[in-house]
């Protein structure tokens, strides 16, 4: 037992000395969570957006039309609009600046748009259409969509003389307890946990293993009184300790960011540990594949990048083309992140969230146990 403790301590200190190990396992997931939450939780939230809208008036606005659009394009701190207006004295200049991405969209107020002031009294009057020019650059498409929503709202307010329309809007996600709001941070948190576990399983463990093989550490250990099993347990424990440290940091961050309280549920914590077991077994399986550090680095990067993007961590991938979709269904992480999210949503996990990962775990452990002895003793 003392041998295992000492060996675990040595392994842990040894791997933690490498800057990359604590950085990618603990610091990077925390930073990633912080940045992604601040970016994607703001989509649709006008307070944090700032689009540059070019405006060209074929004829100066007057009356209600002027007051309305002055408010939309006002950059005062009291107006809750995501637009900064840049006025152009020629249409060509505005369009040129749109094409040069200096503005996100160009709004052209046509001649006779002031008829809008009279339309309140003469309903049948036809007001020329407002023209909104946009490009297919992502920021321009978003600016156009948000501007469209604003115009819709203005139309409703004009028709109701500013009173607005009472409409109760509710949202239900299938299987989710609707009493708790579901925000991007809640959606992302399970993915971030698994990202940290993947780092340990896909990088740290296989790298350590291939390093040991390459440097003949196994050979040296086999000539010492340390048994293969003791080595294996200590090796695994050293990585689990680092992982637990990462989880503690992530949970502190989740607490500070007010992530859903469902993450403290025993079922969520239990399934998280189940996920750790599965992914670490796959890590062991990968470790048994690599024979040198070069191959380990390249193949691990390939697996890591494919898994984090094709497991539904950040966006839905179930509708992707079959050329990549096979990997979505093939890899166990898809089922694990889905299971964790189901628990967070308050619904129960399905059999597939257990079955596919367990098949992976059994196969991985089987392959590893068949090759482990060979790895340790073949160097003799």
Site for other proteins in 323-342 (CB under 8 A): 323-324
- Residue 298 or 355: the one with the smaller Cβ distance to other proteins is 298
Q: How far is the CB of 224 from other proteins (least distance, A)?
A: 28
Per CB under 8 A, the list member of 14, 79, 159, 258 interacting with other proteins is: 159
User: How many C-beta atoms surround the C-beta of residue 75 within 10 A?
Assistant: 10
Q: How far apart are CA 306 and CA 314, in angstroms?
A: 13
Stated length of the chain: 380
101 lies in the binding site for other proteins (CB under 8 A): yes
Binding residues among 113-142 for other proteins as defined by CB under 8 A: 116, 119-120, 123, 127, 129-139, 141-142
Q: Does the footprint of other proteins cover residue 244 (CB under 8 A)?
A: no
> How many Cβ atoms are within 10 Å of 1's Cβ, its own excluded?
6
Site for other proteins contains 233 (CB under 8 A): no
Applying CB under 8 A, the span of 4-12, 218-226, 270-278, 299-307 interacting with other proteins comes to 299-307
Q: Least distance from C-beta 314 to other proteins, angstroms?
A: 8
The piece of 13-21, 215-223, 232-240, 366-374 that touches other proteins (CB under 8 A) is 13-21
CB of 66 to other proteins, least distance (A): 13
- Residue for token digits 């896909």? 202
- For other proteins, the closer of residues 171 and 266 by Cβ is 171
| C-alpha span between 130 and 150 (Å, rounded) | 13
Quick one: which segment of 4-12, 167-175, 242-250, 262-270 binds other proteins (CB under 8 A)? Answer: 167-175
Residue 380 interacting with other proteins (CB under 8 A): no
Among 145, 261, 369, 378, binds other proteins (CB under 8 A): 145
State the chain's maximal CA–CA distance in angstroms.
98
- Asked whether position 99 contacts other proteins by CB under 8 A, the answer is yes
Which residue from 177, 103, 186, 171 is spatially nearest to 137, judged by alpha carbons? 103
Asked if residue 313 binds other proteins (CB under 8 A), the reply is: no
| Shortest distance (Å) from residue 145 CB to other proteins | 5
Smallest separation, CB 230 to other proteins (Å) = 29
Q: Taking CB under 8 A as the rule, does residue 50 contact other proteins?
A: yes
Q: Which residues pair with 180 in a beta bridge?
A: none
Report the alpha-carbon distance of residue 21 to residue 17 in Å, rounded. Answer: 8
Interacting residue with other proteins among 169, 223, 256, 266 (CB under 8 A):
169
- Six-digit token pair at 78? 């009291």
> What single DSSP character describes residue 55?
E
CB 79 within 8 A of CB 26: no
Residue with tokens 């800057």: 19
Residue with tokens 């090759």: 371
A 10 A CB-CB count for 350 gives: 12
Q: Please identify, using beta-carbon distances, which residue of 147 and 360 lies nearer to other proteins.
A: 147
Q: According to the binding rule CB under 8 A, does residue 347 interact with other proteins?
A: no
> What is the footprint of other proteins within residues 186-215 (CB under 8 A)?
187-188
d(CA 113, CA 128): 6
| 100 near other proteins, judged by CB under 8 A | yes
Beta-carbon contacts of residue 155 (< 8 Å; ≥ 6 apart): none
Residue among 12 and 290 whose Cβ is closer to other proteins = 290
Touching other proteins, residues 18-37 (CB under 8 A) = 18-20, 23, 28, 35
Strands 83-88 and 51-57: parallel
Least gap, CB of 16 to other proteins (angstroms): 14
CB-based burial, 245-266: b 16+ in 10 Å, e otherwise = bbbebbbebbeebebbebbeee
Q: Check: CB of residue 133 under 8 Å from CB of residue 98.
A: yes
Number of residues in contact with other proteins under rule CB under 8 A = 93
CB of 250 to other proteins, least distance (A): 18
């Amino acid at each position: 037992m003392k041998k295992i403790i000492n060996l675990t301590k040595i392994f842990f200190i040894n791997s933690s000395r490498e800057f990359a190990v604590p950085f990618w396992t603990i610091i990077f997931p925390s930073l990633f969570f912080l940045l992604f939450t601040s970016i994607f939780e703001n989509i649709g939230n006008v307070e944090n957006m700032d689009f540059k809208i070019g405006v060209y008036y074929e004829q100066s606005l007057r009356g209600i039309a002027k007051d309305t659009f002055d408010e939309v394009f006002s950059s005062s701190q009291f107006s809750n609009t995501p637009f900064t207006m840049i006025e152009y004295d020629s249409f060509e200049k505005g369009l040129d600046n749109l094409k040069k991405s200096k503005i996100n969209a160009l709004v052209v107020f046509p001649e006779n748009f002031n008829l809008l002031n009279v339309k309140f009294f003469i309903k049948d009057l036809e007001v020329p259409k407002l023209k909104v020019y946009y490009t297919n650059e992502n920021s321009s498409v978003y600016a156009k969509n948000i501007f469209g929503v604003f115009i819709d709202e203005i139309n409703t307010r004009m028709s109701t003389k500013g009173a607005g329309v009472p409409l109760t809007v509710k949202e239900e996600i299938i299987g989710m307890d609707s009493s708790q709001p579901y925000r991007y941070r809640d959606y992302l948190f399970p993915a971030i946990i698994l990202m940290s576990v993947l780092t340990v399983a896909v990088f740290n463990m296989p790298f350590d293993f291939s390093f040991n093989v390459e440097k003949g550490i196994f050979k040296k250990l086999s000539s010492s009184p340390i048994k293969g099993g003791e080595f294996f347990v200590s090796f695994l424990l050293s990585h689990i300790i680092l992982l637990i440290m990462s989880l503690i940091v992530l949970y502190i961050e989740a607490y500070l960011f007010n992530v859903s309280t469902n993450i403290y549920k025993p079922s969520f914590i239990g399934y998280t540990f189940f996920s750790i077991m599965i992914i670490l077994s796959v890590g062991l399986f990968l470790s048994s594949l690599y024979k040198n550090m070069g191959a380990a680095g390249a193949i691990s990067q390939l697996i890591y990048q494919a898994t984090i993007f094709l497991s539904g961590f950040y966006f839905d991938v179930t509708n992707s083309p079959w050329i990549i979709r096979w990997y979505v269904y093939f890899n166990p992480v898809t089922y694990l992140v889905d299971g964790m999210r189901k628990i967070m949503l308050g619904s129960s996990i399905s059999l597939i969230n257990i079955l596919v990962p367990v098949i992976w775990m059994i196969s991985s452990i089987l392959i590893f146990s068949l090759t482990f002895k060979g790895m340790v003793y073949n160097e003799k």
